Chains A and B, each alone.
Chain A
Amino acid sequence: MRKRTTNENLDTDEKPTSARRTLLKTLGLGVSGTLIFSLFTKNAQAQDQAPQKTASNGHTNDINIDSSDQITGPLQNHRWMGWENPVFDANDGWNDWKTILNPNNLPIWHDSFSEIPKTHPKHKWGMVMDNRKCVGCQACVVACKSENNVPLGVFRTIVDVMEVGSIKPAQNGMIVTEEGSYEPNVKKFMLPRICNHCDEPPCVQVCPVKATFKRQDGIVLIDYEVCIGCGTCVQACPYDMRFLNPIQMTADKCTFCVHRVDAGLEPACVTSCVGRARVFGDLNDPNSEVSQLIAQFPTGRLMISQGTDPQVFYINLNGNLEGTTSIDKVFMEFTYTIGFNTTDYKQLGGEVELPTIEEKKNPFKQFAV
């Protein structure tokens, strides 16, 4: 069992009032003073245990690992059915919450998210999806799965393929079937979807044990050591971007690759995107690429009527995709979401049934006007 150390931070740093902030600052000054003092006095081994890393994005990461927490030997999760499991190897520090949460000791929120801007966060991470450039190659999906070790059958990011427009019956139309000829006026759309790291995340509000939270820099995360796997947040996410992880038995979702972001890197899907359709950056910084894109192009967001204030912006988003993907307006060709707690998932070991569209008597019924 790993020691729970994040929790204390989570609770005390919530909703910092000005008095509390002053206290925190004083404490912080004291602690950093002690640290600097200790840098001069402690021996090299002690410095090994509290290494100072300077990330490429400029800020200093203090990673403290106390000696009682040192884990020796490979950590194996037996539920992985014999596979190596890099995510759960705490020696890598991949999934170590202390590494993820402590670099800047960011305050976190479980409610009253509107307070966050008042605390003047250093960064506000967001993403822009440039729909003009997405070719639907699914490289991001693969990159995400391998970066985060996402189990079979569940996805942290997906790219839906849709058709928008209409096919009308017309004389001498291009498509000829037994029922007549049709004239198509359709367009294909790729819709890359990830967790929108909403500014008003319903998934955080409904969690009964406060396992999921919003960090000051905007990233919505789950504490996997507290989550009881009740699935309420999965129900509450209007974007269907959460799932129950069948291996670690908790809720799970896109983290904006928080371990990479904290180390000054971009999320895996962004680095792997062949068309540069995904752009990640700081929405607080007017000179960042995301801010520039949002300033220069009209952008849309998904399902804003839900009031979640999503932080993923789409360039050239067809208006029909903004709301729910109603069958009256768009025709979804493929989607890659499938839950694990179904019989379908249990069949995944043997046969994989790819989504098929049943042959219809009137194939273009859904386009009829």
Chain B
Amino acid sequence: MLEGQFLETPIWGLPIVIYPFLSGLMAGAFVIDSLSHLFGFKKFDPVAKLAATVSFAMVLLAAFAPLVDTLQPSRAVWELYVRDHFPYSPLGVFIVIWTLYVILMLFEMYFDYRVDNVERSKQGGLRGAISKFLTFGRPEVSQESIKKDKKALFIISAIGVPLAFAFHGYIGFVFGAIKARALWTSSVMMLMFITSAIVSGAATVIFFYIIGYSFYSKKNKVNLETLNALGIFTIFAILLDLFLDVVEKLYSVRAYTGAEEFHGWELVYNWGGALSVNYHIYQILIGLIVPLVFLLFKKVRQSKFLMLIIAILINFGVWEMRYDTVIGGQLLPKISQGTVIFHAPWLGFDGILSGIGLFCLGLVLFFVLSWLFGWEDNPKSQSLDSNENK
């Protein structure tokens, strides 16, 4: 093919890859959280607070990535809020769902940590003062008030799960709605985004669960039963993801699809194409199949070290999926020939460094929230949970 000619260029770079990745973590973590609150999965109780914290940190960060990619970020915040943008604009819907989600997460965090905050406010000092403020003047810890909290959490989760799906589903819609890009205009896009969000959310929760309880917690140990349950949950999520990958792969069959999609697959994803290694090796093999095979063994699911590695592999694979979708879709030119060449620059608003910065910001946010709320050392509720488990 005519490589060496630069005909068109990718408009959306690394920040837009990071954006669905991070908001995927958010949606996935929220699903894990709500499995505990909504469906009473007792085994997920120890990770519920962690999942809520991850979800909260990521939803705060998710707003930054697309803003980084706009050329007028200062204007964007204002204009996105004050101008109506229904019914078509996918990016416009972002600001509505994002705001709703942040409000929902504030309530979720409040009810999730209220009892802990009451405990901690007795400690005094800066942390005690902050905790006292965060209880918002409800220092009761009676069984009745805890029951009320649980009820509130149930309602929040019931609203939150569809909202989390909407948040991530519409990111699939952002791409699917752009009909000019042959490789994006696919109706499984939305489902694929949601499924891989759940996969990556579960992996991230596993990752922080092991790290947090092994190194930072003074009182709690990693519960192997919980780890096992998380592993089994991940298996089903991966199976669904693989099925959707097979459906998408049908776009590379000449009889199944139109000429543009077929040529696009040939040029970009199929073996010999621009992203063939990324797609086949990184995304499918390392990201999905290898973790799946390992997770099938119970011994692996209960090994902290192996689970840590599997969590990293899965997240790498999901990152690759986002990369292949966002960048790969733009490598197929709209009206020119050959493939577009993508160079990610180091510097600049859409450079590699700003991408790394975004990730670091995510970690910083997560650790600040962890310090504030201390999910790894929640004495009361943890002991309650383990009592109930027995």
Give chain A's interface residues, CB within 8 Å of chain B.
111, 160, 193, 202, 205-211, 226-232, 234-240, 244, 249-250, 302-303, 306-307, 324-327, 330-332, 335, 337-339, 341-344, 346, 355-358
Q: A256 CA to B178 CA in the complex, in Å? A: 24
In the assembled complex, the CB of A350 is this many whole angstroms from the nearest CB of chain B, namely: 16
Q: Quick one: which of B229-259 are within 8 Å of A by CB?
A: 259
**Can you list 20 A-B pairs with a CB-CB distance of less than 8 A?**
A193-B335, A206-B177, A208-B85, A210-B89, A211-B79, A226-B79, A230-B69, A230-B71, A231-B69, A234-B11, A236-B180, A239-B334, A240-B334, A303-B335, A307-B179, A326-B337, A341-B350, A342-B6, A358-B2, A358-B3
Which of A238, A244, A355 touches B179 (beta carbons < 8 Å)?
A238
CB distance from B283 to the nearest CB of A (A): 22
Count the B residues whose beta carbon is within 8 Å of the partner chain — how many?
55
- A324, B13: Cβ atoms closer than 8 Å: no
The answer to whether B9 and A325 touch across the interface, beta carbons within 8 angstroms, is no
Task: Output the nearest chain B residue to A232 by Cβ-Cβ distance.
Answer: B91
The residues of A that contact B95 with a CB separation of less than 8 Å are 208
Q: Which residue of B lies closest to A356 (CB)?
A: B4
> Is the beta-carbon distance between A344 and B6 smaller than 8 angstroms?
yes
Q: Is A208 in contact with B336, judged by CB distance below 8 angstroms?
A: no
Which chain B residue lies CB-closest to A238? B180
Interchain CB contact under 8 A, A236 and B79: no
Cβ-defined contact, B72 with A326, below 8 A: no
Q: Do B7 and A335 have beta carbons less than 8 Å apart?
A: yes
> A335: which of B66, B79, B336 is its contact (CB, 8 Å)?
B336
Tell me the nearest residue of chain A to B73, going by C-beta.
Answer: A228
In the bound complex, how far is the Cα of B69 from the Cα of A245, in angstroms?
14
Pair A342/B343 contact, Cβ less than 8 Å: yes
Knowing A232-B91, A234-B11, say if A202 contacts B335 (CB, 8 Å): no
Measured between alpha carbons, how far is A190 from B147 in the docked complex, in Å?
74
A208 near B94: Cβ-Cβ < 8 Å: yes
- Once A342-B9, A343-B343 are accepted as A-B contacts, the answer to whether A208 and B337 lie under 8 Å apart by CB is no
Residue-wise, chain B 173-198 has the 8 Å CB interface mask toward A (1 for contact) of: 01001111100000000000000000
Measured CA separation A91–B271 after assembly (Å): 58
The verdict on B119 contacting chain A, using a C-beta distance below 8 Å, is: no
CB < 8 Å neighbour of A337 from B92, B336, B341 = B336
A324-B70 Cα distance, complex, nearest whole Å: 29
B178 near A206 with CB under 8 A, answer yes
A369 to B174, alpha carbons, bound, how many Å? 39
Q: Is the CB of A229 within 8 A of B79?
A: no
Of chain A, the residue at the smallest CB distance from B75 is A228
B144 in contact (CB, < 8 A): no
Of the candidates B13, B72, B174, B181, the one whose C-beta lies within 8 Å of that of A249 is: B72
Is B388 part of the contact surface with A, judged by Cβ < 8 Å? no
Return the chain B residue nearest A365 by Cβ.
Answer: B1
Chain A nearest CB: distance from B178 CB in Å? 5
If A228-B80, A343-B345, A355-B7 are given as contacts, then 20 extra A-B residue pairs at C-beta distance below 8 Å, sorted by A number, are: A205-B89, A206-B88, A207-B92, A208-B80, A208-B94, A209-B85, A226-B79, A227-B72, A230-B69, A231-B12, A235-B330, A324-B260, A326-B337, A331-B337, A332-B2, A339-B8, A342-B6, A343-B343, A346-B345, A357-B4
- Residue B87 at the A interface, CB < 8 A? yes
Q: Return the CB mask of B128-158 against A: 1 if under 8 Å, else 0.
A: 0000000000000000000000000000000
CB neighbours (8 Å) of B12 from chain A are 231, 235
**A107 vs B8: C-alpha distance when bound (angstroms):** 34
Task: Flag if A240 contacts B85 (CB, 8 Å).
Answer: no
A53 to chain B, nearest CB (A): 32
